[in-house]
Chains A and B, each alone.
Chain A
Amino acid sequence: MARVVACSDCWPLTGGASEFNVEAATVRDLIRGLDARFPGLGDFVDRRMAMAIDGEIHQDAWFSPIEPDSEVFLFPKIGGG
């Protein structure tokens, strides 16, 4: 189970939960798993969030792999000037 840490933007959809475990082999799996656990969260994460998987930032990358012991941080997508 990957350990997911969600920033505050996600909390309205998680009922305030900021850390939870999700079974996922890829980012796409994770999005599905988040939606199953907290309806609407998967879509929100897909549209609005970037993620750091074991320290490395991934954005719009459904097929980036997630390991069973991975730590995944969700935070707002990064733009720039």
Chain B
Amino acid sequence: MSETLKRPGARQTLNVVGTRPIRPDGADKVTGRAAFGADLSMSGQLVGRILRSPHPHARILSIDTSKAAALPGVKAVITGADFPDLGAEVLAGGEAVTNLADMAANVMARDKVLYDGHAVAAVAAISAEIAEEALRRIEVAYETLPHVIEVLEAMRPDAPVLHATLFTQGLEARPEQPSNISNRTRFMRGDFEAAYAAADVRMEGRYTTRAVHQGYIEPHACVAAWGSDGQCEVWGSSQGQFMVRTYCARVLGVPISNVHVTPAEIGGGFGGKTTVYLEPVALALSRASGHPVKMVMSRDEVFRATGPTSGGVIDVKLGASNDGKIVAARVEMMFQAGAFPGSPVAAAAMTCLACYEVDNFEIVGWDVVTNTPKVAAYRAPGAPLGAFGVESAVDELALTLGLDPLTLREINAVKDGSKAPYGPTYQNIAYVDTLAAIRDSEHYKAPLGPNQGRGVAAGFWFNHGGESSGAVHVADDGGIVVVSSNPDIGGSRAAMAMMAAETLGVPLERVRPVVGDTDSIGFAMVTGGSRTTFATGLAVVRAAEQVIEQLRQRAAMLWEVDADKVAWRAGEAVCTDPEKADLKPLSLATLAERASRTGGPISAQVSLNAQGASPGFGVHLCDLEVDPETGVARVIRYTAAQDVGRAIHPSYVEGQLQGGAVQGIGWALNEEYIFDAGGRMENAGFLDYRMPVASDLPMIDTILVETTPNPLHPFGVKGVGEVPIVPPLAAVANALRRAIGVRVPDLPLSPPRILAALEAKQA
């Protein structure tokens, strides 16, 4: 079931935006024609394979590749020594800040391996069989070192230190010893200690989560060629062709403009494809062999060597008055960053209290390196962990106070004019409307059966604008081509085409949207952070507006009037000069046909750095049923409501809510990285890393709250992709608490844990 809440009396003057057309790339995707990362081959290509460390922490003493190189059919063998040494340069440019040397050392280990699965060498050969045989002939001498997986253990003074050069930043004084603690971030307001001490009611709890993987179904894949002229070609699936271009160029030390990247269709990313793993290796193998090289990861490699998100420990203290006003909050979070600094703990710190007006708080985030794969972005990076802690604690507070959990959230809800915990003042937010949407839902009023519980949780994400490009070209029959700078991961081409059609006043069928390669459209940041429909959409709309300007001028030339006497209405040029009232409107097709005689092709490209993405809020409602015999918890009903600004294509916005909710349900109930005592991942496959399947789930109902469009976007768009993964962890955990009467504070809420909780309760 899906519904949309609009502002009462809102005008509906749009023809295309808000409708549900068939997506323009749809036929390719249902017929098997769409070409994903592993679907392209280059003439003469070799197969590339990577040798990975079997140790979670070891010094590389030597690598002997001679026997592998001597194998007939092997065309290249490379190691870390084949990549340039890079300083600890920080790549600016708006994405989550990236340390270049760390990224390069993650792509191929240099002196140390830092996790089970870390790349140590690579080969290119004429067949997969030969490449795999070559890997077996590479001899690596390791000096194994003590390892550390768990975040609290990694923070201890006696923990094995991953990086001798890592000194904690963000402290009052630089520490004298290196450690695994990379950074401390703090946000505070008022006087937490005093307010907490004075509160009527105090809650305290520790909540933990495990590392989980983004779980995109398409493994990383690319094919790359290094030309004899130094010009590089990469075809592959990623969340940003320009990201691949920049990172490959910097890791390999070549000019950025020498690298040409064509974005393949991408089979899911969720943040996990916002960095490079294979592409620089494929290029280096191509340079060494003189052939194009294709590389495709196995699922085992995807789990062991690409980014999960952090596991974390979240300590929460809440103080409240008896009438439910939260007066003090303290949240301290410790996150696994994996092998290199850069967990999303800062984002967790900024988002964890973002739904609450609290005058006195302290938020502390610790970024901690561990012998696990370097974490990569995962949908609202960090926010689900912080929200899991805070929303669980708020639920406990509601139980203690005897308040309805929605009422407690309403009492403390942020609204326009509230100050976010990280600084900004909220404007044009609809969190209160989103809470009301859940309160008014049929689901909230429905009765529950035995062994069932109902959980509520809220969530926030900033959303993000940033650099994007869009082009609009008019074909000489009046057809429109829209070029987007961003890979289409969930239907954004449909949104681009719809916004262009709406702006130009043409039928959607006349608009063909494509994703440009790095040489055919201006720069853009990755598809991520819920920014594409907002920022790239803005560029497309601005380009369409420039095309309209050109069309008005061409019409003015043909009519021999001033351009200000020409209006663009419903896809036609209309002369507004009352003295020329007999002039018939000029259609887009007519103007396009005459373009060569009025100045040439009609076309515009806009590149911009979009500011003013509006934050989004979600409220989720989860009904869970527990089997007391087996401890299995099953989601039996689920509703997700979200402040979306305005949905361009409502079906795909609903899809974001549904998909995010289900990823969060998997995170809550099943998913986790499991390591053995030797620090090796034990469940690097879909059989043992259990993602939700269709039979685990009910329908996921959605409510799109459109009461508050974003005034900084022509159609009111707010980002929608990140928010829906923020509330589910706590929504599920809170439902479990209410179903079984005890709190299970550690994810995942697996059957053994639930059984143990039931037994402890009876004892």
Assuming A76-B185, A80-B722, A81-B529, is B609 touching A60 (CB within 8 A)?
yes
B427 partner residues in chain A, CB cutoff 8 A: 55-56
Assuming A80-B529, A81-B378, A81-B381, is B92 touching A11 (CB within 8 A)?
no
Neighbour of B92 across the interface among A47, A55, A57, CB < 8 A: A47
In this complex, what residue of A is CB-closest to B90?
A: A47
B430 within 8 A of A: no
B568 partner residues in chain A, CB cutoff 8 A: none
Neighbour of A48 across the interface among B97, B270, B344, B424, CB < 8 A: B97
CA distance A78 to B530 in the complex (A): 11
- B interface SS class: loop
Rounded to whole Å, the gap between the CB of A42 and the closest CB of chain B is 13
Interface residues on A, range: 20 to 34
A21 within 8 A of B: no
B73 partner residues in chain A, CB cutoff 8 A: none
B422 within 8 A of A: yes
Neighbour of B95 across the interface among A9, A75, A79, CB < 8 A: A79
CA distance A54 to B170 in the complex (A): 25
User: Is B424 touching A73 in the complex (CB atoms < 8 A)?
Assistant: yes
User: Is B187 touching A8 in the complex (CB atoms < 8 A)?
Assistant: yes
CA distance A81 to B725 in the complex (A): 11
B462 within 8 A of A: yes
Neighbour of A80 across the interface among B172, B528, B612, CB < 8 A: B528
B646 within 8 A of A: no
User: Is B425 touching A55 in the complex (CB atoms < 8 A)?
Assistant: yes
In this complex, what residue of B is CB-closest to A55?
A: B425
| Interface residue ranges of A56-81 to B (CB < 8 Å) | 56-61, 64, 73-81
Rounded to whole Å, the gap between the CB of A70 and the closest CB of chain B is 12
B531 partner residues in chain A, CB cutoff 8 A: 80
Assuming A12-B170, A56-B427, is B270 touching A81 (CB within 8 A)?
yes
A5 within 8 A of B: yes
| Interface residue ranges of A22-63 to B (CB < 8 Å) | 46-48, 52, 54-61
User: Is A52 touching B172 in the complex (CB atoms < 8 A)?
Assistant: no
A74 partner residues in chain B, CB cutoff 8 A: 423
CA distance A58 to B612 in the complex (A): 7
CA distance A81 to B347 in the complex (A): 12
B466 within 8 A of A: yes
B611 within 8 A of A: yes
CA distance A55 to B466 in the complex (A): 17
User: Is B380 touching A81 in the complex (CB atoms < 8 A)?
Assistant: yes
User: Is B462 touching A77 in the complex (CB atoms < 8 A)?
Assistant: no
In this complex, what residue of B is CB-closest to A81?
A: B271
User: Is A80 touching B350 in the complex (CB atoms < 8 A)?
Assistant: no
B96 within 8 A of A: yes
| Interface residue ranges of B167-223 to A (CB < 8 Å) | 169-172, 174, 183-187, 214
CA distance A23 to B425 in the complex (A): 22
User: Is A54 touching B172 in the complex (CB atoms < 8 A)?
Assistant: no
User: Is B346 touching A81 in the complex (CB atoms < 8 A)?
Assistant: no
User: Is B612 touching A60 in the complex (CB atoms < 8 A)?
Assistant: no
Rounded to whole Å, the gap between the CB of B360 and the closest CB of chain A is 16
User: Is B97 touching A47 in the complex (CB atoms < 8 A)?
Assistant: yes
A47 partner residues in chain B, CB cutoff 8 A: 90, 92, 97
B311 within 8 A of A: no
CA distance A59 to B427 in the complex (A): 18
CA distance A9 to B185 in the complex (A): 6
User: Is A52 touching B184 in the complex (CB atoms < 8 A)?
Assistant: no
| Interface residue ranges of B567-612 to A (CB < 8 Å) | 609, 611-612
CA distance A52 to B609 in the complex (A): 16
User: Is A81 touching B274 in the complex (CB atoms < 8 A)?
Assistant: yes
B465 within 8 A of A: yes
A54 partner residues in chain B, CB cutoff 8 A: 425
The residue in A12, A46, A56, A79 that gathers the most chain B C-beta atoms within 10 A of its C-beta is: A79
Neighbour of A7 across the interface among B93, B186, B381, B609, CB < 8 A: B186
B612 partner residues in chain A, CB cutoff 8 A: 56-57
Assuming A8-B187, A73-B424, is B381 touching A80 (CB within 8 A)?
yes
| Interface residue ranges of B80-94 to A (CB < 8 Å) | 90, 92-94
User: Is B465 touching A59 in the complex (CB atoms < 8 A)?
Assistant: yes
User: Is B462 touching A78 in the complex (CB atoms < 8 A)?
Assistant: yes
A55 partner residues in chain B, CB cutoff 8 A: 424-427
B380 partner residues in chain A, CB cutoff 8 A: 80-81
The residue in A16, A59, A64, A73 that gathers the most chain B C-beta atoms within 10 A of its C-beta is: A59
> Which residues of B are interface residues toward A (Cβ below 8 A)?
90, 92-97, 169-172, 174, 183-187, 214, 269-272, 274, 344, 346-347, 350, 377-381, 420, 422-427, 461-467, 528-531, 609, 611-613, 721-722
CB<8 Å pairs between A and B, sample of 25: A7-B185, A8-B185, A8-B186, A12-B171, A52-B422, A55-B427, A58-B611, A59-B466, A60-B466, A73-B422, A74-B423, A75-B350, A76-B97, A76-B350, A77-B94, A77-B96, A77-B97, A78-B350, A78-B462, A79-B95, A79-B381, A80-B96, A80-B462, A80-B528, A81-B378
Q: A52-B422, A60-B609, A80-B528 are in contact. List 16 more A-B contacts (CB 8 A).
A: A8-B184, A9-B170, A9-B183, A9-B346, A47-B97, A56-B427, A57-B612, A59-B465, A61-B611, A75-B187, A76-B347, A76-B350, A77-B94, A80-B529, A81-B272, A81-B529
4 smallest beta-carbon distances between A and B, as pairs: A80-B529, A73-B423, A81-B271, A79-B96
